Structure formats: C-alpha cells, structure tokens
Amino acid sequence: MQLKPINQQVVAVVGASSGIGRQTALQFAAQGAKVVVSARSQSGLESLVREIQNAGGVAVAITADVADFAQVQAIADKAVEVYGRLDTWVHLAATGVLATFDQITPEEFQRVIDVSLMGQVYGAMAALPHLKREGRGALIHISSMEGRRSVPLQSPYSSAKHGMEGFLESLRVELQHEKIPISVTSVKPAVINTPYYNHVRTKLGVKPTGIPPYYDPKLVADAILHVAEHPTRDYIVGDVGRVLDVLQRLSPGLVDLLLLLIAFPAQRTPEPKSEDAPDNLFEPMAGYDRVQGDFGHLTIPSLSDWIRLNPAVAIAGSVLGVAALLAAAAFIKPNQI
C-alpha cells in the first residue's frame, strides 16, 4: 500500500481548533498539504486558518459538531468541493467528564460516547466513499492509551476509546478483504499537554489533570504526519504509553494496583474548580484555542518516539558506538585487562 507524499495530499483535520488537532493542521499545511479544518469553535478555526495562510499555507474551515452525522459528512464534502478530492482523514474530536461513575448522569455519559466514539464512526463513514473513489488514502483516528488501558475517574472517555479500537479492527479487516488500499491507523497518545483538561467537565471539586508525565502535542502531530505517508496499524506516542502497553499485556492486575495507588490523587490539581464551571461537553468553550495546555512544567521528551521517527540515525549511532568500543578494545594491551 502506497500513500501520497504529504505535499500532494488533501487532508481533513477534525477537532482542529486546539491542542493536537491545531498543531497537526499547522504541520500538514507547512509541508504543503491542502487542509480542511473543522471543530465546533468558529473563533478557533478562524484564527487557525489565518495562521496557516499567513505562513503561506492553504486551508479552509467548516464548523461542525461530530455528534451529528450530517455535519461530519459536510466536512468531507467541503474537501471535495474546494479541492476536488480527499486523501487523508484525521479525526481527533473528543470530550470527557472526570468524576466517579456514580456521579455521572446518563446524558453526560451518552454525550461523551456520541462525540468521542460515534463521532469517529461518522468520520470514517463520511470519508470512506471519497477515499474509495480515489483508490487509496488514509483514515487516521486519534485514540488514546485509555483505549488499551482504562483509567478511573474517566469511565466514559475510556469506554469510547475502547469502542473505537474495536470498530477500527473490524473496519481494517473488511477493507483488506475488499482489497481496498486504505490505511487505517489508531494513534494512541499517552498524556499530552493540551487544553483538554481546561475543557472537560469535572466533578472532582478541583481542576483536573492527566496522570503525569505529559508529552508535547508536537510528538503526536509528528506521528500523524508519519502515518499519513507510511501505512501503520497502531502508533503509541510517549515512552510511558509504551511501558503501560507492556505492563497491561503482562499483568492487568499489577496495573490495577498501580492505578489504585496513584490515579486518584494524580488526577487532581490544588486549584479549586466548581462543577458548574464552563466546559465543552455540550457547547464549544471560548478562550482555549491554542496548542499547549497548562502543564508545560510536567512535559518530558520521549526517546522511543525519536528513535521510531529517526531509525537510520539511531542505527547509525548504534553502529558507531559498537565501532568505537571495538576500536578501543584493539588498543588495550592484554596485560591491561
């Protein structure tokens, strides 16, 4: 399966007004892709399109709530209307509620599923006919490590991400059976420093946080651009995510114990926040149309991501390291050992 170079692609980025989506749209445009950006926040989309165009890129925007299939379908149709085709669909839109399960209402739980799971389903439904007509393309769905391992206080979000993984596995095999060269990728970030924890509804009594450490949104955007050119099944972002993946496979009970010890205090900040404070669960929330969140001081680099995106450099470094050791050994006299 071969995908087009990014500078020849038409890309739809859904959930683009802030965080990973905003960073991803900026990077696609900077590398020459024609971009359609979508989210509920009109102000965020307008500022994003201005930023892309001021840097010499090409972008158009369309506001949409991904819980409504007709609005999602309009995003794909917009790409074809403006640019004549669609090559890559990147779906990031998500929301959540941080609370114990018994504090969450049926309407709140359903809304998270509607946005974070059904929105992803609608995205694939809207994009697939256009990708099939082109004869190739990429569906890139931004899941989470919570699709591999659920976290307490986030049961709706974890449920949505687990559901997404099941949906993508089924869809991938169906496309393989039809011999249609469309890449289906699940990108699973660890905790990323975006405004997500400013947006979500919380019933913890304080501003919520992810379980540190955090990673920079650019790491996820780099992964998305990579899989847009290189067909990939799953892509975990963040060293901690890869460690968690191994631990969950080896011993779910051990991960239960670790989360029991750290997850409840680690998802609370000292900053008070009322249950009635504004959030983006049902309506867009103004003031956070930016890439970065509030936890830059907890952000760390990821060696495994660097190695995955720079394999030739990593291999060359390993070879040089071995060569240096051999050279040093050659100069050591036997009586020095």
> Which pLDDT tens digit goes with each residue over 7-56?
999 999 999 999 999 999 999 999 999 999 999 999 999 999 999 999 99
> Which pLDDT tens digit goes with each residue over 45-71?
999 999 999 999 999 999 999 999 999
Q: How far is residue 148's CA from residue 237's CA, in Å, rounded to a whole number?
A: 13
Query: What is the pLDDT, as a whole number, of residue 330?
Result: 52
Residue 236, pLDDT above cutoff 50: yes
From 157, 196, 197, 235, active-site residue: 157
Q: What percent of the chain has pLDDT over 90?
A: 90
> Which pLDDT tens digit goes with each residue over 239-281?
999 999 999 999 999 999 999 999 999 999 999 999 999 999 9
Residue 146, pLDDT above cutoff 80: yes
Query: What is the pLDDT, as a whole number, of residue 103?
Result: 98
Contacting residues for 91 by C-beta, under 8 A, at least 6 apart: 14, 15, 66, 119, 120, 123, 124, 139, 140, 141, 142
> Which pLDDT tens digit goes with each residue over 293-334?
999 999 999 999 999 998 766 455 444 444 444 544 455 454
Query: What is the pLDDT, as a whole number, of residue 311?
Result: 76
- The answer to whether 197 is a known catalytic residue is no
Q: How far is residue 250's CA from residue 252's CA, in Å, rounded to a whole number?
A: 7
Query: What is the pLDDT, as a whole number, of residue 143?
Result: 97
